[in-house]
Amino acid sequence: MNILVTGGAGFIGSHLCERLIRDGHTVTAVDNFITGSRRNVASLAGNPRFTLIEANIIDGLDHAGPLDAVMNLASPASPVGYLDNPIETMLVGSHGVRNALELARRNGARFLQASTSEVYGDPLEHPQKESYWGNVSCTGVRSVYDEAKRFAEALTMAYHRKHGLRTRIIRIFNTYGPRMDLNDGRVVPNFVKQAATNQPLTIYGDGSATRSFTYVSDLVEGMWRLLMSDEPMPVNVGNPREMTMTQFADAVILAAGSECRSKAVYVQPQNERIADDPQRRRPDITRARQILGWEPRVALEDGLRETLTYFRSVLN
């Protein structure tokens, strides 16, 4: 297949591009490098089936030649990324998504929109099913990301209903692995970097907030299965193993090995970026299991060791 991946030089996008190339597809990656990096796709440089284009999909999106699929991952995805680029985040989730949808429509291609568990906001339902409409502030500091993704889902469904476009929507829950930005502000890079350098692991609040963590290769498998399915409605892809921040800090320290001297410390949030964090997050993946035959395979302990190995290589 000929596949175009927007955000292809990002953390998840680069792993997706590698997987597609490994499976024999021809891939065009588009990225403006606001949060992505050429380093992430360095392993694909020189591959005749891989092309990297620097462009901002807000300004338009074109491609010479036929396309079988467009996979839209373009957007800052970490608090640092979207809070430092709030207007760009809103525009890539609106103008950018429309441009990606139009490209798919012109080519009669499949289309996958990368959405997020953040569409559920600070959920009042637990675990979160796709039928849950969410508890989202439309004016909070995180709203630029949450509402952009909610709009993107609505626009994707509009193209499906109006034009019969073969659209897919994946709701991604917390994902981790090699190539995460060391400084993107999310809990995995924070904890792993601190453990790799024997610093205290900083837990904001009392440690009772929860997350569930999916290794990046599991997510990419779910993305591919959803793209090739016939399911137009959103599907959660994440790991239903829920952990408190205290439990997760303990898991990171254990994965770091006996040489790690880090301990968890608890501090109160000092700015609204952190204070606005959802308190609970856990996916209901019943639909992913039933429709895609998918569930996570990589154990947290194994994924953390791989992630620590990567971070140590970058830090040294």
- Per the domain annotation, does 112 fall within a domain? yes
204 in active site = no
CATH number of the domain enclosing 159: 3.40.50.720
Asked whether the predicted pLDDT for residue 273 surpasses 60, the reply is no
Q: Categorize the per-residue pLDDT at 40 as very low, low, confident or very high, splitting at 50, 70 and 90.
A: very high
Please give the residue that has the higher pLDDT: either 272 or 308.
308
Query: What is the pLDDT, as a whole number, of residue 278?
Result: 80
Q: Is 122 helix (H, G, I), strand (E, B) or coil?
A: coil
- Per the domain annotation, does 67 fall within a domain? yes
Per residue in 203-239, pLDDT tens?
998 999 999 999 999 999 999 999 999 999 999 999 9
Asked whether the predicted pLDDT for residue 300 surpasses 70, the reply is yes
- Per the domain annotation, does 159 fall within a domain? yes
Per residue in 130-185, pLDDT tens?
999 999 999 999 999 999 999 999 999 999 999 999 999 999 999 999 999 988 88
- Per the domain annotation, does 144 fall within a domain? yes
Buried/exposed code over 72-82 (b: 16+ C-beta within 10 A; e: otherwise): bbbbbbbbbbb
- Per the domain annotation, does 263 fall within a domain? no
Q: Tell me if 218 sits within 8 A of 172, measured CB to CB.
A: no
Stretch among 119-128, 224-233, 263-272 having the lowest mean pLDDT: 263-272
- Report d(CA 157, CA 251) in Å as an integer: 39
Closest CA to 76 of 165, 159, 12, 24: 12
Q: Categorize the per-residue pLDDT at 74 as very low, low, confident or very high, splitting at 50, 70 and 90.
A: very high
Q: Which of 145, 159, 176, 215 is catalytic?
A: 145
Query: What is the pLDDT, as a whole number, of residue 16?
Result: 98
Average pLDDT over every residue of 31-46: 96
Strand partners, 244: 210
- Per the domain annotation, does 253 fall within a domain? no
- Report d(CA 31, CA 50) in Å as an integer: 13
pTM for the complete prediction?
Answer: 0.95
- Per the domain annotation, does 98 fall within a domain? yes
Please give the residue that has the higher pLDDT: either 51 or 279.
51
**Structural domain that includes position 12:** 2-176+215-239+283-297
Stretch among 26-30, 277-281, 299-303 having the lowest mean pLDDT: 277-281
Asked whether the predicted pLDDT for residue 272 surpasses 90, the reply is no
Asked whether the predicted pLDDT for residue 61 surpasses 60, the reply is yes
Number of domains the chain is built from = 1
- Per the domain annotation, does 134 fall within a domain? yes
Query: What is the pLDDT, as a whole number, of residue 155?
Result: 98
